[in-house]
Structure 1
Amino acid sequence: MADVNIDQVVMTLKNKFKTGHQFIFWYDDQGEFADSVDDLIGALAGVATVIELKMGYQLKTKLRLLEAGKSEKFLIYSPQPQPPLEENHLRDMVLYSELFRADAPEILRKELQLPENMYSFVKTHAAFFGSKERRARFMKYDVHSYQAEPTMAIMAAIVRLDQPLVDFFAVLRLILKGGIVDNKYLNDFEKYHVLEDFWRIVNDRFGFQAAEPDLLTLASGLYVTMAFEQMGLITPADNRYNLSARAANVQTFMQQFSAEAFGERRDDYNQIAELVWDNIRDNKFFDQLDIDDLANSDVFPEFDKKILSWIQYQLLLRNDGVMVNGLNIGKLTKKRREMHYGRSRNINHLYLMIRSAWQVIRARDNRPANGFNAMVDEYTNGGFYVDMDYRHFIYEYHMAGYPDYYMRLKRLVEQTYVDLLSRFNTSWNQTFDYQQVAPQLLQRNFYNQYVRNQQNRIVVIISDSFRFEVGKELQSRLQREDQVTNMQMHFLISGLPSVTYMGMPALLPHKQLDLQYDSRSVMVDGQPAKNMAQRQEILQHANPKSIAYRYKELQGKTRDEIRAMFANQEVVYIYHNQIDTTAENKGTEDETTKAAETAITELQELIWRLRTNNITHVYVTADHGFQYRDEKIDDIDKIEVETVAEDWKSPRYLVSERDIKDPGIARQSIANALDNQDSRYVYYPTTANVFKANGSDKYAHGGSSLAEMLVPLLDVHTTSKKSTAHEVTLQINNSNLQINSLDVPLSVMQTEPISSKVTPAAFKLYFVDENNHQVSGQIVINANSKDSRVENRIQRVNITLVDQQYDRNQVYDLVIENIDSGAQSRVHYRIDIVDNRR
């Protein structure tokens, strides 16, 4: 046998020489050890001389042996069979010498450390064991895990199973990943005579029978049966894909396969699902099923497509209160996002998109509160969610690749949102008056109200166009961190027009603000405030220990550099521009919602970098907000208003001294906006409409609305101390720890609600035996509930055991494994199942 380890041969030969044999003849009929002659020479050095008997050298060899001294010992190795008597010149010497025959299978069995009863197995599969590399892979496996089915270990070695225990389900997963149509592994199975055993084991485990079995039919049976099992329906009996007789094993295998790559690429499982769907399409197994049934299965991505399509249809009918299995659309989409395909990028975006659409549509009948203060209270305490949900809808729609199939839903969301904007804008502009706004709420009083009298260093981050609802999302993310010691959201009412050249100067220390007549700029106490140097000079005039930076100046700086930049400074203004710089450009304004996401992330990271440098008090605010509509407004729908040379006109405002009384337009005096004697007015549409003017097609600001004028003032206090937060844990509530069925129901409780001190985590749950061999399917639980009520943090799930014999005296463990950290907790169970076959 080529390439067999000769240690056992050498040991046997040495023992024979020790017993007094001078000559040992070894006729290797198949020449299996011909390549090992050099190894033999080295191994027997000092014990015996090795002579390789070659064709035509019999007499020469015989003379050499006859001349040998009595103390000399020889191994005569021939890579051919012993010649016939009439041709064998060494026959007389062979008769009185030792004749050695190597039992290659036995030598190999010992090398592989297999029990004696596996001799015939080794001999039968000699071709497989002829490779040192294949033997090395085979030897990695625990013999106890495959002794009952030895060929499984050959299969495992061929597919390169990377675990010590040979598990057929794990082997099968690797086989399926190797290709459904032209599988390289099955070719090797046939080559090394284990293909019949493979299909026999498949039949035993899954009840799969076919005259000419193939992987596509097997995979179809696994996927189809799993789908019906998840739905709690009977698999149609009259089809070749029905494997329900061994449903427990089907579920176990499919749960393991689905959960195997959680958080990683899931291409193999998904690609096989697509091949199976194409294969069974004509059977129409799932065409007539109710949405309640489809919602329970995640075997095929087509189920998610059907569910998303069904939700869209219901929303188009305004049936936003519809329920599926007792879940509203919000809870249904959350559930589906945590299932197999919901964790994939595209379908996850679609569920988030359609959930946001549902939120906007169900707000269609919202009505504004009466009066300025009531409207502000309503908006800051939840009314802002309409703007947030619409922004999220557009963001997810774009991230999903602008799917044409959902264009009707997009138009409905667009129309609903515009109607809401117009309704609330109209009400706002019927009640808003600067003279009714409390002074501490005015943006122009920010410095005096919040900065001037601070005793400790204060950092003010001003993010251009960072409207209130975007600030609320930043607040929500920061609330997850336990190193935020205190945080409050206030708000400010911007000036009009609600633009940068008004908002930035208003946030600086001043006594007088004046809007220029010859340029769109505001003078601060007679000083310009357009650029960083001018703003820093104004800050330092109020407090010499002040400085201003652009956000980009801080990017990439080391900790020491940051500390040096902030040293000895009491007031630091940081100017951040992500949303406005993206949205003002017609070429990139479609990226406005993405820019908002980026802005939130950048500010969160900035606050964290400052925290690590002992800069622990930060205000986040904005110069103005914005109004965004993803659908362009046709020119015919825009408001036409005549202007003169001295007027300034943009899509959302007009500055003029003239008295304009056109319908659909309101005004505020510049004097009231800036608290000065300016004689001009700022005019603006009372609805969500715009003036016919140069500017962006979708993104606009400058007008009078809650989204444009009400800006966040997030007051954040942090600590530089290390986080004491810990990941949440799971606990099993079941009091009965004895299992009597292959279906194991579990009551799993998230021990604490998610908070700044308790972070969410994902866990996989499965059963193992005393050898740590998995004996069940695997489920994933996302522990992310913020609910303080214990009963609402309990999830009821089922795990299916492998359909096999269980030892009632053995202890089996339920493993609860944190997917990210790998940390495990275990619960001991006994399994006593009378009849495994269901």
Structure 2
Amino acid sequence: MAELNLKQIADKLNAEFTGDTRKLVFWYDDKAEFADDIHTLQMTNAKVYHLEPDNQFYTKYFLERLDRTTNYLIYAPFPKPPVRDNHLADTIKYSKEFFADRASLLTVDLGIDEKYKPLIQKYIKFFGAKDRTQRFYDLEIENFTRDTIEIALMSVLCKTRTASFEEVVRVVLTDADLEDNKFLAEFEKYDLLPAFWRLCEDQFGYTDVKPTVEKLVVTMFVTYMERYMDAELPKAWKSFVSYKSGNIIAFLDNLMNSLLYRGRYNELSEYVAVGLNAASALEAVSPEDLLRCDTFAFIDRMIIHWITERLLAEDTGAKLNGMTIPMVCQERSKMHFGETYKEQYQLLEHAYYLILQANYNCPDDFIGIVNQYRESDYLIDTHYRNFYSCFDKLKDSTAFERLRDLIENIYTNEYLAEIIPKWNAAIINDESMTVLPLQRDFYSKYIRNSKERVVVIISDAMRYETGRTLWARLQDDEKCSAKLEAMLSVLPSYTRLGMAALLPHRALEMTDDYRVLVDGASCDDLKQREGVLQRYNPNSRCIQYDDLKAMKRDAIRQLFVGMEVIYIYHNQIDARGDKANTENEVFIACEEAINEIHDLIRQLTDHVSATHYIVTADHGFIYKRDKLQESDKLANSAEKGSFINRRFIVSDKEIQGDGIGSVPLSRILGNHDTKVVSFPISSNVFKVAGGGQNYVHGGSSPQEMIVPVLDIKTEKGHKETRTVQIALISMVQKITNLITTLDFIQNEPISDVLKGTSFKILFISEDNEKISNENIYIADKKDADPQKRMFRLRFNFKNKQYDKSKRYYLVAFDETNDLEVLRHEVMIDIAFANDFGFNV
């Protein structure tokens, strides 16, 4: 650093000014290298006099007339003038001259071998600024060679934290334009450009008569492609393949896997793909030969297109490298561009399972239908829901429109057209009421005899398949156990009657004007339902989910004090599906409902120590994406005053007509009601005015009438948490110094669900020998800005001989459980390790 250089100068100069005799020392600094530093020079027995080109005569007068006793260092930030122009020539004759060049001082101060002094002199312009010189010192290079010196100079200009050529190249490629690269302009300014291209050849095997960053990038991506492609490259590409593919692959792997640089990798990949017209050049290559490649995004588009075409042909047996379509989708989703095409791959996977149902078979008996639905058929509805959840997230769904038509045809004409008529052919038999627990018996079966507080969450229109997804989610919660059952809803399967059936009662009835009564009382709103509930259990309460969600913790605790039964009414699915302008969002609402209910269970467990929950629904629904056609609508001959809905009609007489079934209301309600419920025996609807075109319920089908019952137990104090992770940022494949500094990042900020922890980080050999010091890092940063979660660690390696053919690893362990969380392979090539190569 400059301060130490000046100290060396000061020591030499102060040695000149010893003794009692007055002395003058002239220092002509030809290139003014020390002009900015001279004022900090510490002189013990002399003063610094600043000589200017135009004050020589006065200086002579001053030194020989005005002050003839003081020792002076006369500093001139310019070359020594010729004798005939130098008024101080005779003064210099009886004085001394001092010579100091920065190259000499730098080599001495840094411990650089004298043979590299010409190299330092070559780049002396670089050391003309204090900040650049200081950053060079801060890199703490231990072993100086031509390469390490030039890499350090470039590292300073690129402002990397370590002297690493991989980091230099990373900065050149990620922090500037390729065609007008500001860092290459800096290299050229300080005569480093030849060194940069020489090192590119040494490290990456890239060489060219007129090298450019663009061609370097092309070389890297083509070389990477060649390694993972199971077919020959296009002939025009072969000249770009480097003989040092290993270094290139390691470099690009680090770039694409980096949290900070993966976006730039994608940009570079697209740049190369466009420049090479790669999509056309590889058009004839089989998707099978590209399956291992994730060099370019268009490869995923090619594979997605291939899968789509196979599915359109209903070729569900198609494979790539022995992998089925779902396996291919899952494997590609884990690769680099998998996040970009996540929705497409998930959509295709769900489409695959739906197309398998093109020859769907349904049992004829009610027990068989129910059992098969609960065991496997529910998945058809789940895949259909997830297909459209993915489809609706696509910015452009044009490429999947034909596939969507196929899915819609299979779901409607192969599946619903088969299962719903058979369901309705069987449900008219009295024994169908004994196959599943009945919704009207819910309170007596699940609530009445409970010996602990029960929180009942009723989610409007949560059908069985959605409840099963919630159940699977709860299975992953380590402090939660859940049992999934099912019950048969009332018919008509609509909210008012379903909500009434879930309340305690002795009598459930529908009046002649179609009001629903529980024990003779109305139960249409929250207050009325709470009144019914409290007649059976005074220590009970009803509340809307939205009201509970808005309450603070203390208010929630107060609400639950002394309560034995709490009914919470949740309305996400039906609220969205029942409106014509939002019915196509019903599947989004299903996912939101699952998340909200899971979060509610965790919140109540934490806030009020509630540990027993029952989650159920008033009814399910049928949803089809295609708008209803006139042929899907059934004419009805209901008498005036009948209760008419798209999916049911309640009247004094059954409705006659093709495609219409009926059951007595008395069988549904368990009373002597003489009214009749009529319903379409398929997924069709009755002709009614208004309403939506896609989302319906109220009728008789497994989707509408099989409702979930989840019996859930949680542990007190439950909070789902995970431990924060760290990642290596520095792009290091080779260790060349006994002292190495690396940069890391804490991947995410800690929060209430993300715990901090401490990590033990060190280097080991392939035999698990520790070869460096152990760094302990406590990951507890809360900053949202990734830059503020970066940290730097210094590693000191054992001074021993390292074998370049062996593997060494940077490893990190979570100290709380001693589990390895990071492993990064490096090569160690320390030239002067083991006593600097001498056997002493």
Q: Do they fold alike, i.e. is TM over 0.5?
A: yes
State the match for 1:96 in structure 2. Answer: 94
Structure 2: how far apart are the matches of 1:106 and 1:819?
Answer: 48
Would you say 1:563 and 2:541 are equivalent positions? no
> Could you tell me whether the CA contact under 8 Å between 1:395 and 1:594 is conserved in 2?
yes
Change beyond 3 A, Cα 1:11–1:674: farther
Structure 2: how far apart are the matches of 1:201 and 1:712?
Answer: 66
Structure 1: how far apart are the matches of 2:541 and 2:525?
Answer: 13
Displacement of 1:514 after TM fit?
A: 1.8
Displacement of 1:280 after TM fit?
A: 1.2
Displacement of 1:556 after TM fit?
A: 4.8
> Could you tell me whether the CA contact under 8 Å between 1:231 and 1:297 is conserved in 2?
yes
State the match for 2:17 in structure 1. Answer: 17
Would you say 1:225 and 2:219 are equivalent positions? no
Report matched runs for 1:498-647 at 5 Å: 498-518=493-513, 521-613=515-607, 614-647=609-642
Match of 1:709 among 702, 705, 708: 705
Displacement of 1:643 after TM fit?
A: 3.6
State the match for 1:416 in structure 2. Answer: 410
SS at match of 2:210: coil
Displacement of 1:417 after TM fit?
A: 0.8
Report matched runs for 1:368-517 at 5 Å: 368-419=362-413, 420-433=415-428, 435-436=430-431, 437-438=433-434, 441-484=437-480, 486-517=481-512
In the alignment, residue 39 of structure 2 is paired with which amino acid? D
State the match for 1:683 in structure 2. Answer: 678
State the match for 1:243 in structure 2. Answer: 241
State the match for 1:156 in structure 2. Answer: 155
When structure 1 is superposed on structure 2, of 227-236 and 406-415 the one drifting more is: 227-236
Change beyond 3 A, Cα 1:65–1:771: farther
State the match for 2:653 in structure 1. Answer: 658
Would you say 1:310 and 2:299 are equivalent positions? no
Change beyond 3 A, Cα 1:10–1:552: farther
Displacement of 1:289 after TM fit?
A: 1.6
Structure 2: how far apart are the matches of 1:191 and 1:569?
Answer: 78
Report matched runs for 1:121-270 at 5 Å: 121-144=119-142, 147-149=145-147, 150-162=149-161, 164=162, 166-177=163-174, 178-236=176-234, 239=237, 241-261=239-259, 266-270=262-266
Change beyond 3 A, Cα 1:172–1:434: farther
Change beyond 3 A, Cα 1:228–1:527: same
> Could you tell me whether the CA contact under 8 Å between 1:221 and 1:240 is conserved in 2?
no
SS at match of 1:412: helix
In the alignment, residue 403 of structure 2 is paired with which amino acid? L
In the alignment, residue 121 of structure 1 is paired with which amino acid? L
Change beyond 3 A, Cα 1:116–1:460: farther
Displacement of 1:767 after TM fit?
A: 9.9
Q: Deviations over 1:304-325 (max 9, x none)?
A: 1111111111111111111111
In the alignment, residue 199 of structure 1 is paired with which amino acid? W
Change beyond 3 A, Cα 1:37–1:449: same
Q: Deviations over 1:133-190 (max 9, x none)?
A: 333333333424773512222222222223x3x3323322222222233322222222
Structure 1: how far apart are the matches of 2:261 and 2:139?
Answer: 27
Change beyond 3 A, Cα 1:37–1:282: closer
In the alignment, residue 301 of structure 1 is paired with which amino acid? A
Structure 2: how far apart are the matches of 1:70 and 1:330?
Answer: 95
Q: Deviations over 1:544-568 (max 9, x none)?
A: 1101111122225443333222111
Change beyond 3 A, Cα 1:444–1:68: same
State the match for 1:289 in structure 2. Answer: 285
Structure 1: how far apart are the matches of 2:484 and 2:826?
Answer: 50
State the match for 2:32 in structure 1. Answer: 31
TM-score after normalising by structure 2: 0.83
Structure 2: how far apart are the matches of 1:434 and 1:815?
Answer: 70
Change beyond 3 A, Cα 1:102–1:728: closer
Structure 2: how far apart are the matches of 1:556 and 1:107?
Answer: 70
Match of 1:84 among 82, 99, 105: 82
Report matched runs for 1:721-736 at 5 Å: 721=717
Count of aligned positions: 755
Change beyond 3 A, Cα 1:302–1:64: same
State the match for 2:833 in structure 1. Answer: none
Change beyond 3 A, Cα 1:380–1:242: same
> Could you tell me whether the CA contact under 8 Å between 1:547 and 1:573 is conserved in 2?
yes
Structure 1: how far apart are the matches of 2:549 and 2:37?
Answer: 65
TM-score after normalising by structure 1: 0.84
Change beyond 3 A, Cα 1:244–1:604: same
> Could you tell me whether the CA contact under 8 Å between 1:222 and 1:241 is conserved in 2?
no
Change beyond 3 A, Cα 1:809–1:267: closer
Q: Deviations over 1:314-364 (max 9, x none)?
A: 1111111111111111111000000010122xx001000010000111122
SS at match of 1:592: helix
RMSD: 3.3
> Could you tell me whether the CA contact under 8 Å between 2:622 and 2:697 is conserved in 1?
yes
Question: Identity of counterpart residues, as a percentage?
Answer: 32
> Could you tell me whether the CA contact under 8 Å between 2:654 and 2:678 is conserved in 1?
no
Report matched runs for 1:787-798 at 5 Å: none
Could you tell me which runs of 5 or more consecutive residues in structure 2 were left unpaired when the two chains were aligned: 726-754, 756-760, 774-800, 830-840
Structure 2: how far apart are the matches of 1:131 and 1:768?
Answer: 40
Structure 1: how far apart are the matches of 2:238 and 2:814?
Answer: 37
SS at match of 2:417: helix
Q: Deviations over 1:603-645 (max 9, x none)?
A: 1111111121311111111111111111112234322224443
Change beyond 3 A, Cα 1:17–1:529: farther
Structure 2: how far apart are the matches of 1:666 and 1:342?
Answer: 48
Q: Deviations over 1:412-447 (max 9, x none)?
A: 011111120121111111111473223971111101
When structure 1 is superposed on structure 2, of 432-441 and 653-662 the one drifting more is: 432-441
SS at match of 2:316: coil
In the alignment, residue 150 of structure 2 is paired with which amino acid? T
Would you say 1:323 and 2:319 are equivalent positions? yes
Displacement of 1:490 after TM fit?
A: 0.8
When structure 1 is superposed on structure 2, of 593-602 and 719-728 the one drifting more is: 719-728
When structure 1 is superposed on structure 2, of 812-821 and 283-292 the one drifting more is: 812-821
Displacement of 1:538 after TM fit?
A: 1.3
Structure 2: how far apart are the matches of 1:175 and 1:818?
Answer: 33
State the match for 2:832 in structure 1. Answer: none
> Could you tell me whether the CA contact under 8 Å between 2:621 and 2:695 is conserved in 1?
yes
Structure 2: how far apart are the matches of 1:305 and 1:141?
Answer: 44
Change beyond 3 A, Cα 1:816–1:288: farther
> Could you tell me whether the CA contact under 8 Å between 2:255 and 2:262 is conserved in 1?
no
